[in-house]
Structure 1
Amino acid sequence: KIFAVIAHRRFHSKQGLFPKWKFTFDAEQEMYICPAGQGLKYRTTDRKGYQQYASDPEQCKSCPFLNQCTQSKNHRKVVTRHVWEDSKDWVRNNRLSKSGKQLYRKRKETIERSFADAKELHGFRYCRLRGLPNVREQALMTAAVQNMKKMAIHLDHREKRG
């Protein structure tokens, strides 16, 4: 029951081609519907968890949107959907909600500030030693110091309140 608000990365489609959001997913039929109304049927799932939905090249040859849809020589459009896409949509809707926007604004005050303090005050900008175990140790020591400082500040505030 966690209200997840996670940053997003904007992936841009090729210039002049329809972006993925122009294709609507029909969960009942488990297929994508293209802007021309043709169905892209499930084809396979790769090892990274991406399901591929492909169009019928025979129908795409005569489509008026072919140049805006794909540059494929065999006239086939392939749209990918991750197996966790439903969860990604849920997080995306959280981020775009009013409470999600308010929570995301606090990121710069909490998370980003913590990284900035680690870099500026605790030598996190450069690793002092080489090797993964040594770098991991430095990161854990830095995190421990930051947590101790937070606890000290919290206890001080609590003591002043009485």
Structure 2
Amino acid sequence: MIRDGKPEGFFYLDHRTVDMKYNLITDVHVTPGNVHDSVPYLSRLDRQQKRFEFQVEAIALDSGYLTTPICRGLQSRNIFAVVALRRFHSEQGLFPKWKFTFYAEQELFVCAAGQELKYRTTDRKGYQKYASDPEQCKNCPFLNECTQSKNHPKVVTRHVWEDSKDWVRNNWISKSGKQLYRKRKETIERSFADTIELHGFRYCRLCGLPNVREQALMTVAVQNMKKMAIHLDRWETRGNPLVFPFAGSH
């Protein structure tokens, strides 16, 4: 695993889903460290909905999940999605992408100097490319702040599913979105912290994906049993009969 701000080396990743109401872990999936967080997400979400018949209304994810396929997938599933925004930094001294205004009906971007960047092509990954006229760019006062191309054209890309990502960004800045994301620190982050600090999950006991998966499942089972015991105790102290409140989510 090689990531900014993380130690480099051989790792496994624990991809985990936590219920917001009771803080129960509803899914755990182990992959090698070189598998990006976003890769297994939608398939694990569908698995939980199918297996447990969960009616998922909303989800909160960190910035590693802010990809166009995930945004598109959640929007098509009619799930309110809140994903932390990434802070992309353009090359030093160059205009960031948000300096260019996109006009969907005309299918073009407009730069700070007012020049139009028109649609050129769409690559195999679904990114539409918009390019400026190099003859106009070479005399532009912002040329050195806009592009380092020797032929002077400026190219801006936009994914065909970018509208779904814009929908997620709007959710993030909404009042309900901010409230939902605050819950994430109280659930999933606390779950991982307990796993590492209280259950020895900082290191795997045995090598190999099947062995690490077994350790993860056993650890999660213990955490869930502790959570259930706590909630059952609270349930009984409130004067309710001792009935398991999580029935139906086996």
- Give the TM-score taking structure 1 as reference length: 0.89
Q: Of the candidates 154, 157, 161, which is equivalent to residue 234 of structure 2?
A: 157
Q: CA deviation at 1:79?
A: 1.2
Aligned match of 1:134: 211
Unaligned runs of 5+ in 1: none
**Distance of 2:169 and 2:84 partners within structure 1:** 9
What does 1:38-57 correspond to in 2, within 5 Å? 38-57=115-134
Instruction: Tell me the secondary structure at the aligned position of residue 82 of structure 2.
Output: coil
What residue identity is the alignment partner of 2:203? Answer: Y
Aligned match of 1:101: 178
**Distance of 1:146 and 1:48 partners within structure 2:** 40
What residue identity is the alignment partner of 1:62? Answer: N
Which structure carries more relative contact order (alpha carbon 8 Å, separation 6+)?
2
Q: Of the candidates 74, 85, 95, which is equivalent to residue 8 of structure 1?
A: 85
Structure with greater helix share of residues = 1
Q: Of the candidates 113, 129, 132, which is equivalent to residue 190 of structure 2?
A: 113
Residue correspondences, number: 162
Deviates more, 1:139-148 or 1:64-73: 139-148
**Distance of 2:230 and 2:123 partners within structure 1:** 49
Structure 1 pair 14–119 and aligned structure 2 pair: CA distance change class (3 A): same
RMSD (CA atoms):
1.8
Aligned match of 1:147: 224
Aligned match of 1:61: 138
Structure with greater strand share of residues = 2
What residue identity is the alignment partner of 1:4? Answer: A
Per-residue CA deviation, residues 15-54 of structure 1 (Å, 9 max, x unaligned), is: 2211100111111122211112222222333343332222
Instruction: Tell me the secondary structure at the aligned position of residue 157 of structure 2.
Output: strand
Unaligned runs of 5+ in 2: 1-77, 241-250
**Distance of 2:154 and 2:208 partners within structure 1:** 45
- Give the TM-score taking structure 2 as reference length: 0.60
